[in-house]
Amino acid sequence: MNKYLSISPEVQEALREGKPVVALESTIISHGMPYPQNVETALRVEQTIRDNGAVPATIAIIGGKLKAGCTPEEIEYLGHKGQAVTKASRRDLPVLIARGADGATTVTTTMIIAAMAGIRVFATGGIGGVHRGAETTMDISADLEELAQTPVMVICAGAKSILDLGLTLEYLETKGVPVIGYGTEELPAFYTRQSGFKVDYRIDTPQELAAAFRAKLDMGLQGGMLVTNPIPEEYSMPPEIINRAIDEAIKEANQLGIRGKQTTPFLLAKVKELTSGDSLASNIQLVLNNARLAALTAAELAK
């Protein structure tokens, strides 16, 4: 057992008994939503996973420990502390651990800690990817590299639509990451179901998702699998509205010189403001939708 890893008793018991477990990230708690909606949503997502037959494992770094499974009190702590918690990617782990500090895990670090703990399925909102203008800025999310090397299935609502979706798909193809559309042949774009880009394969049941991932593990193929699950129709935002808001948010970020890990939180907050909060409501619903699918898939994988 990794000496820096702390697995909650509930998650440890579930893993020991071969029960389904679903990992959850914590950046969405500290950086993705305002308090107290962030805590309420995190607990609601955990309950959704329980209601669908799996054990939730919210992942974070608290006091220099890699936590696989947070208590409600720890989730409250992360949510209340908010953006004062470091947004932690792979590069941040050594220093945060050495300092005994706190960190909110991104897709990348959630995958790392989930894999350490033996958790194979992870539900999130949307992944990072290749940012618009990356041909000059080289701004490419570490999420894509992690998907290429860490054996975890990531269930999301597609890549965030603030990104260059075409280049993101090209990057994943180069890295050999299968991109699956759940019930769709088109890549969902987070707030909206349409992007105009095709996924590698369409799969329509949790059973087939589990079978495909099990085959990947059995063959010893490196890396994870990306499952893109469209936001429910009733919460999907019209592409023209969300794209207009994103274009305006990107323009303002460029004018302010915002770069690196501050880019995504700024853009998401600005899009929320420009859409009068509609994007936040959509964000909550797509995470719940992904949690349901992740629990059902983890249950199949555990059989």
| CA gap 270, 19 in Å, rounded | 40
**Cα–Cα distance measured from residue 196 to residue 20, given in angstroms and rounded to the nearest whole number:** 34
Give residue 158's pLDDT.
Answer: 94
Q: Which residue has the higher pLDDT, 135 or 69?
A: 69
Question: CA-CA distance, 202 to 204, in Å (whole number)?
Answer: 7
Rounded-to-integer distance, Cα 303 and Cα 301, Å: 6
User: What are residue 201's phi and psi, to 5 degrees?
Assistant: -145, 150
pTM over 0.75, yes/no? yes
Structure tokens at 39: 């805590």
Residue 129's SS3 state is coil
pLDDT tens for residues 55-100?
Answer: 999 999 999 999 999 999 999 999 999 999 999 999 999 999 999 9
Model confidence at 278: pLDDT above 70: no
Per-residue pLDDT of 18-30, as tens digits, reads: 999 999 999 999 9
How far is Cα 294 from Cα 56, in angstroms, rounded to an integer? 10
Domain 1-119 shares a fold with domain 126-303: yes
Provide the pLDDT for residue 254.
79
- What are the sequence ranges of the domains in the chain? 1-119, 126-303
In terms of Cα–Cα distance, which of 115, 90, 114 is closest to 103? 90
pLDDT in tens, 162-216: 789 999 999 999 999 999 999 999 999 988 898 889 999 999 999 999 999 999 9
* DSSP-assigned states of every residue in 207-249: HHHHHHHHHHHHTT--S-EEEE-PPPGGGPPPHHHHHHHHHHH
Which architecture characterizes domain 126-303 according to CATH? 3-Layer(aba) Sandwich (3.40)
Q: Give the Cα separation of 53 and 292 in Å (integer).
A: 9
Partners of 225 in the β-ladder: 153
**Rounded Cα–Cα distance for residues 155 and 125 (Å):** 8
Residue whose token pair is 């440890």: 12
Q: Which active-site residues does the annotation give?
A: 25, 160
Assign domain 1-119 to its CATH architecture: 3-Layer(aba) Sandwich (3.40)
